[in-house]
Amino acid sequence: MLRVESVSFAYGDKKVLSDVGFELAEGEVSSLLGVNGSGKTTLLKIISGLLKPQKGKVIVDNKAIEEIGSQGLSKTVAYMPQKTNGVFCTVFDAVLLGRKPHIGLEVSGHDIETTSRIINMLGLEHYAFKYTTELSGGELQKVVIARALAQEPKILLLDEPISHLDIKNQMEVMRLLVDITKTMNLTTVIVLHDLNMAMRFADKFLLLKDGEVYAYGDRDVVTPQAIRDVYRINVLVAQYMGLSVVIPELS
């Protein structure tokens, strides 16, 4: 579904990504890990088509994204940035905005039906005609995710979707993203700073260090040595009730 081949990128003279390559499958959640400035957000923007790499390419459905075109890409890839601009409108209208790549001269019955279905899927039906300014942080984050899903994408890219949420809403949003990925057979890539959330919910892990792929694979690649090399911190990785738990050492 999604293949990144030898991608390199720089902002002027500052190299950000160097020869990054990996392949992601449908129906899986991949967590993009690394310290601030390691190139995670830049990589998401390249996959989404917002940035063009100086070298390498991104392949979706065996086509380079340049061949798909901006209109086709907007129907295939949904990107949720770290910060989104608030829109003063109802929840229904905010989610309907995600249908923009599909809407012709006017909103169709299918657009309305899809919007309603996504709102119900995310448990937002009771808020559909409330204004977005009336929502809590967790509710608003679900609206932003719903807007991305309304695009009916094949690839879902999320940059720190839970960083500003309390622990309850973090768990709800992550469970929701996993369920949606499996149900809709999406290829989902999530930037996370919380290693334990990543270990709990992700299927695959891509660790970036200094703009290069340090490791990619299942939970077995997230070792104490890998975390030490990437994050420059000593940790233990323990098992608790069947879960891998990352525990920072005190010294």
End-to-end CA distance of the chain: 43
pLDDT tens, 20-68? 999 999 999 999 999 999 999 999 999 999 999 999 999 998 889 888 8
Residue 115 banded pLDDT, cuts 50, 70, 90: very high
Q: What is the mean pLDDT of residues 206-218?
A: 95
Q: Count of domains in the chain?
A: 1
Global pTM value:
0.89
Is residue 195 domain-resident?
Answer: yes
**pLDDT > 90 in the chain, percent:** 66
Lowest mean pLDDT among 29-33, 80-84, 156-160: 80-84
Q: What is the per-residue pLDDT for 216?
A: 96
Inside any domain, residue 97: no
Predicted pLDDT at 85: 62
Is the pLDDT at 108 greater than 80, yes or no?
yes
Whole domain around residue 213: which residue ranges?
2-83+153-248
Across all residues in the chain, what is the average pLDDT? 91
Residue 25 lies inside a defined structural domain of this protein: yes
What is the C-alpha to C-alpha distance for residues 97 and 176, in angstroms, rounded to an integer? 21
For 196-201, what is the mean pLDDT?
94
pLDDT tens digit sequence for 162-187:
887 889 888 988 998 999 999 989 99
Rounded mean pLDDT of 223-248?
Answer: 91
Residue 116 lies in a domain: no
Alpha-carbon gap, residue 32 to 60, rounded angstroms: 18
- Compute CA distances 115 → 6, 110, 137, 173, 186, whole Å: 37, 8, 21, 19, 18
Asked whether residue 188 carries a pLDDT value surpassing 70, the answer given is yes
Q: What is the distance between the alpha carbons of residues 183 and 198, in angstroms, rounded to a whole number?
A: 20
More confident position, 61 or 157: 157
Predicted confidence (pLDDT) at residue 84 exceeds the cutoff of 80: no
Does any domain span residue 222?
yes
Q: Is the pLDDT of residue 239 over 90?
A: no
Cβ neighbours of residue 168 under 8 Å, at least 6 residues apart?
A: 138
Q: What percent of the chain has pLDDT over 70?
A: 98
In a domain, 128, yes or no: no
Instruction: Tell me whether residue 221 is in a domain.
Output: yes
Would you say 57 and 5 are in contact if contact means Cβ atoms under 8 Å apart? yes
51 within some domain: yes
The CATH number that applies at residue 215 is 3.40.50.300
Binned at pLDDT 50, 70 and 90, residue 102 comes out as confident
